[in-house]
Amino acid sequence: MAKIIIDPLTRVEGHLRIDTRIEDGKVVDSWCKGEMFRGFETLLLGRDPFDAPVITQRICGVCPVSHAVASSLCLEDALGIVVPDNGKMMRNLVLGANYLQSHILHFYQLSALDFINVEDILSYTGRDAKLLEVQEWAKQELNSNRVLPVAPFLPKSKGDYPKDKKWNLTALGHYLEALDMRQEAHSMAALFGGKMPHTASLLPGGVTTGVDAATVENFRSRLKKIKRFIETVYLPDILEVARLYPAYANIGRGVSRYLSYGVFQEGSGTWLPGGVLKDDVLSPLNTDLIGEDVSKSYYKSSPSDHPSASVTTVQQHKEGAYTWIKAPRYNGESYEVGPLARLLVASAAGDTEVTAAVAGLLKSSGLKSSQLNSALGRHAARALESLLVAQRMERWLDALQPGQPTVGKYHGNKDRKGEGLTEAPRGALGHWISIEKGKIGGYQNVVPSTWNFSPRDANGSLGPVEQSLIGTDVDLSYQGLEIARIVRSFDPCIACAIH
């Protein structure tokens, strides 16, 4: 039996190790291993509850807005704070901008190099200044004994990269253009968020920034630029990857169960709905059924496995454990979360706009609906969601009301518990707080990559990523490239997942 161990898996947030066992050229077993502990939940204990939205943003530099929103929702639930409509719309706009930068970052900076033969840059003879600069970096790297931090492209391992030179160079150019688009999205978020990453204006009750006409139009002009990039570059590139790599529409299948908390507040609900999709049947979300198993994680068992009452206690040398990631389960089963889950749940809930968009994507890509549950399907869902979010953001801009409040009233700390559920770009994000004598007595985060990269539970059931690797055909000379492509399709954020 052969082994493929990727340690660390690069181009992801945090420290991730993937172990696999190979028989007859196929993956027959796999283990996801979060390789460090951070302790955010522990350092929150004893602090003022209003410290939580500030501190929890530091869990992640890619999706800090999601943590600010989840933490704020958590405190609003505990303290009975009502957010005005302006506050909801502005919060949606900052979160939407964070979605766009994260999705663009994930495909171009973190995943696209898996699908591009970047060696074609060495023979480039065109006049694009940025490509010529990359060419010079690559040549320097190949001719030196050091790895230049500004040239992440070469050397590349062996793999089934495209021979289409036009695609390789065009996609590499889009990689560079995407950096500018991500900067635009950060600038958008900072207009209402105060700064990025780690906003200064999001807090329980809404957003401290007022509605200013000039700022709104500044935001709108940047949004149009990003939307155009999604329509003319991002989505077409995804369709080209589907043409070049059809096999990836049939591998990387996860657990085929999907969960979404719902996201982007509108009125008394959310634009993208929450729900649980199993065997193509949609059920209402019941958060009482959420638990975290630590059988294979470096933590002691807690009196309760529900996040509202569980305690994070390290047990570093625990026998049989192999990761710092806990194993979230819904009614005892693992569930995939993320853009694909959100779109499938929304479509099952009867959202005609999402359903039509998914149907259009399937038609243009040639994918079957069953092939969305795949490595390629996750990339396609993320790109499509980017467009849907950008379109919805235009409505939220139009809904802003100058002169109306953006923050709800706060009436003082109470010794209560709160639950804050939203969706980060990578999937379902939950924060739970217990306020005792005006201070944080307990705090738990269950983040998207905790769901997706969870280890085995007490019953031996695999997490979504571990399951998605089983049965994958691999060429040992590729050094795990096929495995890395599947794992990256989930957009790992292990910095968030390791408590």
C-alpha–C-alpha distance, residues 23 and 420, integer Å: 44
pTM of the predicted model, to two decimals? 0.96
Tokens of 138: 């690559």
The region of weakest confidence among 113-127, 363-377, 391-405 is 113-127
Q: What pLDDT digit, counting tens, does each position of 463-481 carry? A: 999 999 999 999 999 999 9
How much is the pLDDT for 121?
87
Structural domains of the chain ordered from first start: 2-117+156-497 (1.10.645.10)
Q: What pLDDT digit, counting tens, does each position of 56-67 carry? A: 999 999 999 999
- Give catalytic residues, as residue numbers: 13, 60, 63, 67, 426, 449, 493, 496
What is the full DSSP assignment across 319-370? Answer: TT--BS--EEEETTB--B-SHHHHHHHHHHTT-HHHHHHHHHHHHHHT--GG
Q: What pLDDT digit, counting tens, does each position of 228-254 carry? A: 999 999 999 999 999 999 999 999 999
495 pLDDT exceeds 50?
A: yes
The region of weakest confidence among 35-44, 139-148, 261-270, 456-465 is 139-148
332 pLDDT exceeds 50?
A: yes
C-alpha–C-alpha distance, residues 456 and 449, integer Å: 14
354 pLDDT exceeds 80?
A: yes
Tokens of 9: 């898996």
In the chain, % of residues over pLDDT 90: 89
Q: Which residues pair with 23 in a beta bridge?
A: 26
Tokens of 349: 């809930």
Q: What pLDDT digit, counting tens, does each position of 418-462 carry? A: 999 999 999 999 999 999 999 999 999 999 999 999 999 999 999
How much is the pLDDT for 383?
98
Using DSSP's 3-state secondary structure scheme, residue 185 falls into helix
pLDDT grade for 140, boundaries at 50, 70 and 90: confident
96 pLDDT exceeds 60?
A: yes
How much is the pLDDT for 316?
94
Q: What pLDDT digit, counting tens, does each position of 285-296 carry? A: 999 999 999 999
How much is the pLDDT for 150?
45
Cβ atoms of 448 and 428 closer than 8 Å = yes
pLDDT grade for 149, boundaries at 50, 70 and 90: very low
